[in-house]
Structure 1
Amino acid sequence: MDFIQVFALALLQGLTEFLPISSSAHLILLPIIANWQDQGLAFDVAVHVGTLTAVVFYFRSTLKKLTADWFTSVATQKNVGDSRLAWAVLFGTIPVGLAGLLMGDWIETALRSPIVIAITTIGFGLLLGYADWQGKRVRSEQSLNWQDVLFIGVAQAVALIPGTSRSGITITAGLMLGLTREAAARFSFLLSIPVILLAGGLKTIELVQSPLRIDWAALVSGALFSAISAYICIFLFLKMLDRIGMWPFVIYRLVLGGFLLWLFL
């Protein structure tokens, strides 16, 4: 991998992991369009480490409180502070973990195509627009009950299909449940932490078991660029969300999906 490929893919991963436009779709499509060789498993692990670092650092104060309240809740066997939200993040991760174990390999082989990405990009983009238009936008993430968390968790599992967008579909689900835009985005970002940990952990195990030669310069650069771009993306997205809404991302998805259909049909 040359520097341009490393920089472009890491920047793309950092920006698209948390915007509702699908990081997996962009990381699949860019090498196809640019005629690059596949970046490989090791690089995927590196850029996931970068985005994980960014979201943990951004929410470090929140995570510190969630962790402390969760341990207190376990010790006292009752809700303490934000322990309910901590349990919601853990509980909401179960559906995607099960789906990944049961269907991950099949999804990777059967659904990794530009046409599938085009259809999901358009379809779930329209659903995001509908949820933003119809959502009451009055609830906070602290108000989520177990049925709400299960609904968002199942929605997150659907995001294993390329082009769906993990952040996009979880924000969509949150808006459908009446969360404010910022609350839906914050819960989506918190929910991403165990998911990225699980995905990165599985990829790391595969990497350790493979005989691949590792280009450490590319990995370190990729992790650094993805971390910086992801942090900036989270900061700007949450700051501007109420002002711009979801429609710029809906329009982008419709244009991208239409372009892919034109290009690959």
Structure 2
Amino acid sequence: MDYLQAIFLGVLQGLTEFLPISSSAHLRIFPELFGWGDPGAAFTAVIQIGTELAVLVYFRKDIWRIASAWLRSLVRPEYRGHFDARMGWFIILGSLPIVVLGILLKDTIETEFRSLWLVGTMLIVMGLVLGAADRVSANDKVIRDLGLRDAVLMGLAQALALIPGVSRSGATLSMGRFLGYEREAATRYAFLLAIPAVIGAGLFELKDVPDGDNLYGWGPTIVATVVSFVVGYAAIAWLLRYVVAHSYLPFVIYRVALGSFVLILLGTGVLAA
């Protein structure tokens, strides 16, 4: 049964990691609804490696170009003004907030932050924030307009995703839209910005897979990670096509509905926080 649960959670992770609806919230809520128990922060962090590997494969050309330009800029001054070299620095500096806070708040993330009261509330609040950002955005900046200030601000927004229910992509997209970036530009940068943080968190939590707070052992965790990679790759391709011509409103409605549903179940005693 552990393997069937792991496959389901891998599919859930792959579908929700890149949509602005919080994969960590779904991995916290649905196992509780089915009576499986909390799979744990370690399981959640490790299977997210699968979806980030999907990002590495999907954006391999962009990543290679950015990494090459950044490395050349370290030794060749003529590359230092190149956009791809600067993008390398933007991703590094934008990743620092979530890395630092993730280390400092590790114990809180694995305990208090996993309360379903907090998860449900964050689904609603950050859903409304996403809707507001999408509505008021100037929508006139493309990815090449990205500068250090905006990169760091989106990095700070991403750090909010340490709280399940916020959504890494949702928080980054919200900040990007508030700053005036087109949906596709904000989405592309959100994907790239997540790579160091998610892979780093997953590797950091590997030691807790055999025991720690992980409900599953190595076998189911590996299966879930592989499944999340396959499903996540398809989700990236779909979302990038979707955001070109559609708003985030369906995600906002879904977040508010799911968050409200969770809070009602908690309030009536159907679920325990």
Residues 253 and 44 of structure 1: CA distance in aligned 2, closer, same or farther (over 3 Å): closer
The runs of 5 or more residues in structure 2 that have no matched partner are: 268-273
The one of 236, 239, 246 equivalent to 1:237 is: 239
User: 1:252 — aligned with what?
Assistant: 254
User: 1:75 — aligned with what?
Assistant: 75
Contact 1:18-1:233 at 8 Å conserved across structures = yes
Contact 1:19-1:167 at 8 Å conserved across structures = yes
Shift of 1:217: 4.1
> In the aligned structure 1, how far is the partner of 2:231 from the partner of 2:3?
16
Give the AA of the match of 1:28.
R
The runs of 5 or more residues in structure 1 that have no matched partner are: none
Contact 1:20-1:166 at 8 Å conserved across structures = yes
Q: How does 1:1-265 map to 2 (within 5 A)?
A: 1-39=1-39, 43-44=43-44, 46-77=46-77, 78-207=80-209, 215-265=217-267
Contact 1:85-1:141 at 8 Å conserved across structures = no
Contact 1:120-1:162 at 8 Å conserved across structures = yes
For normalisation by structure 1, the TM-score amounts to: 0.93
Q: Number of aligned pairs? A: 265
Residues 159 and 38 of structure 1: CA distance in aligned 2, closer, same or farther (over 3 Å): closer
Per-residue displacement from partner, 1:206-251 (whole Å, max 9, x unpaired)? 44786x9985542332122100110010000001112221001000
For normalisation by structure 2, the TM-score amounts to: 0.90
Per-residue displacement from partner, 1:104-133 (whole Å, max 9, x unpaired)? 211321121111111111111001001101
Give the AA of the match of 1:66.
I
Per-residue displacement from partner, 1:185-217 (whole Å, max 9, x unpaired)? 00000011001111112102444786x998554
Residues 45 and 128 of structure 1: CA distance in aligned 2, closer, same or farther (over 3 Å): closer
> In the aligned structure 1, how far is the partner of 2:68 from the partner of 2:41?
34
> In the aligned structure 1, how far is the partner of 2:95 from the partner of 2:204?
15
> In the aligned structure 1, how far is the partner of 2:257 from the partner of 2:61?
38
Name the stretch that deviates more: 40-49 or 67-76.
Answer: 40-49
Contact 1:43-1:222 at 8 Å conserved across structures = no
Contact 1:42-1:214 at 8 Å conserved across structures = no
> In the aligned structure 1, how far is the partner of 2:184 from the partner of 2:256?
23
